[in-house]
Amino acid sequence: MASERPNRLYRNLTAKIAAIPMILTAVCVFLGGTAWTVVYSFTNSKLLPRAKFVGLDQYERLWGTHRWVVSIENLMIYGICSLVLSLVIGFVLAALMDQKIRFENTFRTIILYPFALSFIVTGLVWQWLLNPDLGLQSVVRSAGWVSFNFDPLYNADIVIFGVLIAGIWQGSGLIMVLMLAGLRGIDESIWKAARVDGIPLWKTYVFIVIPMLRPVFITTLVLITSGIVRLYDLIVAQTSGGPGIASEVPAKYVYDYMFQGQNLGQGFAASTMMLLAVLIVIIPWAYLEFGGKKRG
């Protein structure tokens, strides 16, 4: 039996070997890919990546581009609305589902099923439902309300909300399930204590329960945010960025410039800006998750 202190590296060697796929993915793909992207964002690569550095030119152009600014604005609007609405709708629905209701399974299934569909499908369906000549607007008009106007996908001012309707439709089910799971995890005696204290139900939710659901909110926040940053398929399927450039988003900007515009450098610069934004979100999260508390 060993009396020498063995090399640290060999302790739990199997575990380390088993983690190699993860380490490789993390380091080679995510870190490596990111670094590669950042490096090439300083070049003037066109169709193929080329190491001809041009400093910050791509970034200057990026921020001078009207479409990028619109994209960022859209993402902000969509992001904030989607975050708030997803959380609110998800939570309210979860709270309703938590009232020991009948047909809970049915309602839950109805609310969650869009989650199983792809964004492409979601985009198509809602594009159709919101089509003024075929969808809701024409139906309401043919029902007699002739002046009814609801054509978000063809109105540059509100097109992003048309996308939002579809995005919420698809995403809020999962949030609801997460919240519901969180609610179910709350100690029943908290509810009892609040009732004995004579606290109205809504106050119990707002002042006691919601603060207790912090971990769930963090999980959902991560989920929703990562979805928002990646928003692409839905836009492409639903509006293709239109009308005009009114519903453009950064991910689409990246894609279009990299592949359609054959200007990789510009695409990489835009990606780098997006990654930067992600880092701003994720660093506080990682800090909360790993910084203070240790397992014990």
Partner 1 sequence: MANPISLSVTAAAIGTTRAELSGPRGARPKRAISPRNVFIYGTLLLVSVYYLLPLYVMIVTSLKGMPEIRLGNIFAPPVEVTFEPWVKAWATACTGLNCEGLSRGFWNSVRITVPSVVLSIAIASVNGYALANWRFKGADFFFTVLIFGAFIPYQVMLYPIVILLRELGLFGSLWGLVLVHSIFGMPILTLLFRNYFTSVPEELFKAARVDGAGFWGIYFKIMLPMSLPIFVVAMIIQITGVWNDFLFGVVYTKPDVYPMTVQLNNIVNSVQGVKEYNVNMAATIITGLVPLIVYFVSGKLFVRGIAAGAVKG
Partner 2 sequence: MTSVSIRDLTLKFGSLEVLKSLNLDIDEGEFLVLLGPSGCGKSTLLNCIAGLLDISDGQIFIGGNNVTWSEPSERGIGMVFQSYALYPQMSVEGNLAFGLKNARMPKDEIAKRITRAAEVLQIEPLLQRKPAQLSGGQRQRVAIGRALVRDVDVFLFDEPLSNLDAKLRAELRVEIKRLHQRLKNTMIYVTHDQIEALTLADRIAIMRNGIIQQLDTPHEIYNRPVNLYVAGFMGSPGMNFIEGEISGAGDASFNVAATQIPLARYPFARADRPGKAIFGIRPEHVSCGAAAMEEPFSTDVEIEVVEPMGADTLVWAVLDGKEFRFRVDGQSPLQAGQTVRIGFDPAKASVFDAASELRL
Partner 3 sequence: TDLEVTHWWTSGGEAAAVAEFAKAFDATGHKWVDGAIAGGGGTARPIVVSRIIGGDPMGAFQFNHGRQAEELIEAGLLRDMTDVAEREGWKDIVNPPSLLDACTIDGRIYCAPVNIHSWQWVWLSHAAFEKAGVAVPTSWDEFAAAGKALRDAGIQPLALGGQPWQSSGLFNVLMATLAGPDVLTKIYGEKDADLAAGPEMAKVFQAASDARSMAEGSNVQDWNQATNLVITGKAGGQIMGDWAQGEFAVAGQTAGTDYTCLPGLGMREIISTGGDAFYFPVIDNAEITAAQDVLAATLLKPETQVAFNLKKGSLPIRGDIDLSAANDCMKEGLGILAKGNTMPDVNMLNTEDTNNQLNDLFVQFFQDASITPEAAQERFVEIVRNKD
Ligand X SMILES: Nc1ncnc2c1ncn2[C@@H]1O[C@H](COP(=O)(O)OP(=O)(O)OP(=O)(O)O)[C@@H](O)[C@H]1O
Q: Which 146-185 residues touch partner 3, going by CB under 8 A? A: 151, 154, 156
Does residue 48 touch partner 3 according to CB under 8 A? yes
3-state secondary structure of 151: coil
Could you tell me which stretch among 66-74, 99-107, 168-176, 190-198 binds partner 2 (CB under 8 A)? 190-198
Report residue 225 CA to chain centroid gap. Answer: 4
Cis peptide before 243 (omega within 30 of 0): yes
202 contact choice in partner 1, ligand X, partner 2, none (CB below 5 to 8 Å, kind-dependent): none
Does residue 184 touch partner 2 according to CB under 8 A? no
C-alpha count within 13 angstroms, C-beta hemisphere, residue 242:
9
- Helices and strands (H, E) in the chain, number of each type: 16, 0
Q: Which 236-275 residues touch partner 3, going by CB under 8 A? A: 240-246, 255-263, 266
Q: CB–CB of 127/239 below 8 Å?
A: yes
Least distance CB 232 / partner 3 (angstroms): 13
208 contact choice in ligand X, partner 2, partner 3, none (CB below 5 to 8 Å, kind-dependent): partner 2
DSSP letters spanning 76-131 = HHHHHHHHHHHHHHHHHHHHHHTTT-TTHHHHHHHHHGGGGS-HHHHHHHHHHHT-
39: nearest Cα among 27, 47, 48, 49: 49
Question: SS3 helix, strand, coil % of the chain, rounded to 5?
Answer: 70, 0, 30
C-alpha count within 13 angstroms, C-beta hemisphere, residue 279:
9
Could you tell me which stretch among 45-53, 72-80, 107-115, 197-205 binds partner 3 (CB under 8 A)? 45-53
Could you tell me which stretch among 77-85, 218-226, 270-278, 288-296 binds ligand X (CB under 6 A)? 288-296
Q: Which 5-24 residues touch partner 2, going by CB under 8 A? A: 5-6, 11
Residue nearest to ligand X (CB): 296
Report residue 262 CA to chain centroid gap. Answer: 27
| Closest CB to partner 1 among residues 72, 229 | 229
Does residue 292 touch partner 2 according to CB under 8 A? no
160 contact choice in partner 2, ligand X, partner 1, none (CB below 5 to 8 Å, kind-dependent): none
Number of residues that bind ligand X (CB under 6 A): 3
Number of residues that bind partner 2 (CB under 8 A): 25
3-state secondary structure of 249: coil
**Residues engaged in binding partner 2 (CB under 8 A):** 1-6, 11, 187, 189-190, 192-193, 195-200, 203, 207-208, 211-212, 294, 296
**Residues engaged in binding partner 3 (CB under 8 A):** 46-48, 61, 65-67, 131-133, 151, 154, 156, 240-246, 255-263, 266
